[in-house]
Chain A
Amino acid sequence: GQQVMQIPQYQHVQEGEDFTTYCNSSTTLSNIQWYKQRPGGHPVFLIQLVKSGEVKKQKRLTFQFGEAKKNSSLHITATQTTDVGTYFCAVGSARQLTFGSGTQLTVLP
């Protein structure tokens, strides 16, 4: 199955600072999904990117899909304590999702 590397593993930021997590694949991806998992919670779908170079925004969150469709990023502007959690990218076919290792975000008040 497809593999995806995600960095960094952990990120601590002061509230108000920006945050970015990156996912990289050695192969071209058909699409990439992003999920957020709050501490003790379950993965919740955030967004899907399909097109080369696609950029999508959700309030303070900006998602990008690379031109070669081999990498993606999630950027949060001016983090808030509610942004705390682990952010996963996920790739794969209809029959399964392969998750990245996740980036655990801690926001210090």
Chain B
Amino acid sequence: EPEVTQTPSHQVTQMGQEVILRCVPISNHLYFYWYRQILGQKVEFLVSFYNNEISEKSEIFDDQFSVERPDGSNFTLKIRSTKLEDSAMYFCASTVQGSSQETQYFGPGTRLLVL
């Protein structure tokens, strides 16, 4: 069964450094999402992306964050200058058509630790 993949699985970085988290959505999916989950808390929406544009973003997704689809397969989340509070699990997800009745398929996540 096709699945969303994410790399790296773990990332440790110093505060103020830039990180790029990578995702490969399911190949025929057109809508892509990033979510984050601070340890022990709920999953929070960051951003959705369609047709090379941000479709919707949350308050969390400030100027320090950006997303990109640099090629036909990868979908990246960049955090420009990491803060301690950016430490979390970051999940990528994708859907075929972006319908509200579609299942979102989540990747295994990248655990980011900012020191």
**A and B form one complex:** yes
Asked if A59 lies at the interface with its beta carbon under 8 angstroms from chain B, I say: no
Asked if A31 lies at the interface with its beta carbon under 8 angstroms from chain B, I say: yes
Q: Give the CA-CA distance A45 to B55 in the complex, in Å.
A: 22
Tell me whether chain A's interface is mostly helix, strand or loop, or mixed: loop
Q: Which residues of A, 41-70, contact B by the 8 Å Cβ criterion?
A: 41-45, 48, 50
Q: Give the CA-CA distance A33 to B100 in the complex, in Å.
A: 10
Instruction: Find out whether the CB atom of A50 lies under 8 angstroms from the CB atom of B101.
Output: yes
Asked if B18 lies at the interface with its beta carbon under 8 angstroms from chain A, I say: no
Asked if A96 lies at the interface with its beta carbon under 8 angstroms from chain B, I say: yes
Contacts of B108 in A (CB 8 A): 41-42
Q: A42-B106, A42-B108, A43-B106 are in contact. Are A94 and B45 (CB under 8 A)?
A: no
Contacts of B107 in A (CB 8 A): 42
Instruction: Kindly state the interface size class of chain A when it binds its partner.
Output: 20 to 34
Instruction: Find out whether the CB atom of B45 lies under 8 angstroms from the CB atom of A96.
Output: yes
Q: A88-B43, A100-B42 are in contact. Are A94 and B33 (CB under 8 A)?
A: no
Instruction: Find out whether the CB atom of A94 lies under 8 angstroms from the CB atom of B95.
Output: yes
Contacts of A42 in B (CB 8 A): 91, 106-109
Contacts of A45 in B (CB 8 A): 103-105
Q: A95-B56, A96-B56, A96-B58 are in contact. Are A101 and B100 (CB under 8 A)?
A: no
Asked if B68 lies at the interface with its beta carbon under 8 angstroms from chain A, I say: no
Asked if B82 lies at the interface with its beta carbon under 8 angstroms from chain A, I say: no
Contacts of B51 in A (CB 8 A): none
Picked from B41, B100, B105, B109, the residue with its CB within 8 Å of the CB of A92 is B100
Contacts of A43 in B (CB 8 A): 43, 91, 106
Contacts of B104 in A (CB 8 A): 33, 45, 97
Question: What are the 5 tightest A-B residue pairs by CB atom distance, in nearest-first order?
Answer: A95-B56, A96-B45, A94-B98, A99-B43, A45-B103
Chain A residues within CB distance 8 Å of chain B: 1, 30-31, 33, 37, 41-45, 48, 50, 88, 90, 92-102
Chain B residues within CB distance 8 Å of chain A: 31, 33, 35, 41-45, 48, 55-56, 58, 91, 95, 97-109
